[in-house]
């Protein structure tokens, strides 16, 4: 039984698995996109998001911890200089995994791992801003819905008719 054994082995011993993940996270930050198997992509996401969180901290200790994982000094500089600003407003979820296809040889599920782009975040903010501010047409439609009387069932209509009859009888 595998109780309390978190993470995937990926068919490798621990040193090989760590080296592979370090190489993959370096390539991901260098090219901002990577194609790999689905299981590797899910493990890579954890390491990549941890590195981005370190970059958001931005102090010397965080840079040294990131340098211990990322293999190239230029990639560490890119992460702490450029990519940090892209994700400053996000609370997490910096990496997207898109399922692609099954590999021909062994049928393994292939996924594309991507860093989120800054333009996508701006588009979402614009949509939220329009919805919050509301266009005049949407405001008018909302006002119409609020002023429009609600549909009532037959029992409610009958009770209104009987109330109206009672009022007429009392007046006469």
Question: pLDDT tens for residues 4-17?
Answer: 898 999 999 999 99
Question: Residue 57: is its pLDDT beyond 90?
Answer: yes
Answer whether 36's CB lies under 8 Å from 30's CB.
no
DSSP count for the chain of H helices, then E strands: 8, 3
Residues 119 and 158 in one domain: no
Radius of gyration of the chain (CA): 29
Residues 36 and 110 in one domain: yes
Within a domain: 42: yes
Question: Residue 157: is its pLDDT beyond 70?
Answer: no
Cα–Cα distances in angstroms (integers) from residue 156 to residues 57, 159, 163, 167, 169, in the given order: 62, 5, 11, 17, 20
Residues 122 and 150 in one domain: no
Range of the domain at 148: 134-171
Question: Residue 150: is its pLDDT beyond 60?
Answer: no
pLDDT band at 117 (very low <50, low <70, confident <90, very high): confident
pLDDT for the residue numbered 154: 61
pLDDT for the residue numbered 118: 73
pLDDT for the residue numbered 151: 56
Residues 121 and 96 in one domain: yes
| Structural domain count of the chain | 2
Helix segments in 115-153, DSSP class H: 118-133, 136-147
Mean pLDDT of 91-113: 96
Residue with tokens 């040889």: 105
More confident residue, 7 or 150: 7
* Residue 35 to residue 78: CA distance in whole angstroms: 21
More confident residue, 149 or 115: 115
Contacts of 120 (CB under 8 A, 6+ apart): none
Closest by CA position to 20, among listed 39, 40, 34:
40
Name the pTM for this structure.
Answer: 0.68
Structural tokens at position 99: 């399922």
Residues 121 and 138 in one domain: no
Mean pLDDT of 11-39: 96
């Amino acid at each position: 039984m595998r109780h309390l054994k978190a993470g995937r082995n990926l068919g490798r011993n621990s040193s090989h698995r760590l080296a592979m993940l370090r190489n993959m996270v370096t390539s991901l930050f260098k090219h901002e996109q990577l194609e790999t198997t689905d299981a590797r992509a899910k493990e890579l996401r954890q390491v990549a998001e941890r590195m981005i969180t370190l970059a958001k901290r931005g102090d010397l200790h965080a840079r040294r911890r990131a340098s211990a994982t990322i293999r190239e000094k230029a990639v560490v500089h890119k992460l702490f200089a450029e990519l940090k600003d892209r994700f400053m407003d996000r609370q997490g979820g910096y990496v997207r995994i898109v399922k692609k296809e099954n590999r021909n040889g062994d049928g393994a599920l292939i996924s594309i791992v991507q860093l989120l782009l800054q333009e996508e975040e701006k588009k979402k903010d614009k949509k939220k801003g329009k919805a919050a501010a509301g266009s005049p047409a949407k405001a008018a439609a909302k006002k119409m819905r609020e002023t429009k009387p609600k549909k009532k069932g037959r029992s409610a209509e009958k009770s209104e008719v009987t109330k109206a009859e009672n009022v007429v009888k009392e007046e006469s």
